Amino acid sequence: MESELNTRQQAYVAAVERGCKGMEAVSPGFCPSCPECIDALGYTDDEDEDGSVIKTAQQKAEEDYETGKVCDEGGFSWSACDCCGSRLGGNRNSAHGWADIAGKRILIHFEICDDCMLYLANGDIPDDQHLKEFDD
């Protein structure tokens, strides 16, 4: 497929590969098993009158994720994309990836642009007109 890509698209793919280097299972969006994501979306444990946990915040987040009740629509930012490095203003979306740091497996959180979200989720490479900043 690389041979079918033009110079800008090849530069974009290389930038994404650099941005995700050392990570595996990189995926866009909310992570229902991640305490930071669960907290950021305001999930809390359900408790009965005695203070016993009926349902954990993680259980509720996983149920909502599976049924499509929770979504992460991102938001506008002028910050660079943590994946491809694009400095163009636009939506930034949550993403996660696992990295091995000093022999310990760590979940890394980062913010990615819409183009990277579509590329990581579906393999969609942006149109050439959106990649002018990747010119040499």
pLDDT digits (tens, 9 = 90+) for 38-95: 888 889 999 888 889 899 999 998 999 888 888 777 889 999 999 999 999 999 998 9
Determine contact, residues 23/29, Cβ cutoff 8 Å. Answer: no
Which residues pair with residue 97 across a beta bridge?
Answer: 108
- Split at pLDDT 50, 70, 90, the class of 136 is low
pTM value is 0.77
Residue that has been written with the tokens 């819409």 in this structure:
114
- Split at pLDDT 50, 70, 90, the class of 116 is very high
Check whether 132 has a pLDDT greater than 70. yes
Residues in contact with 17: Cβ distance below 8 Å, sequence separation at least 6, in sequence order: none
Three-state secondary structure call for residue 30: coil
Instruction: Report CA Rg, the chain.
Output: 18
Check whether 34 has a pLDDT greater than 90. no
Three-state secondary structure call for residue 94: strand
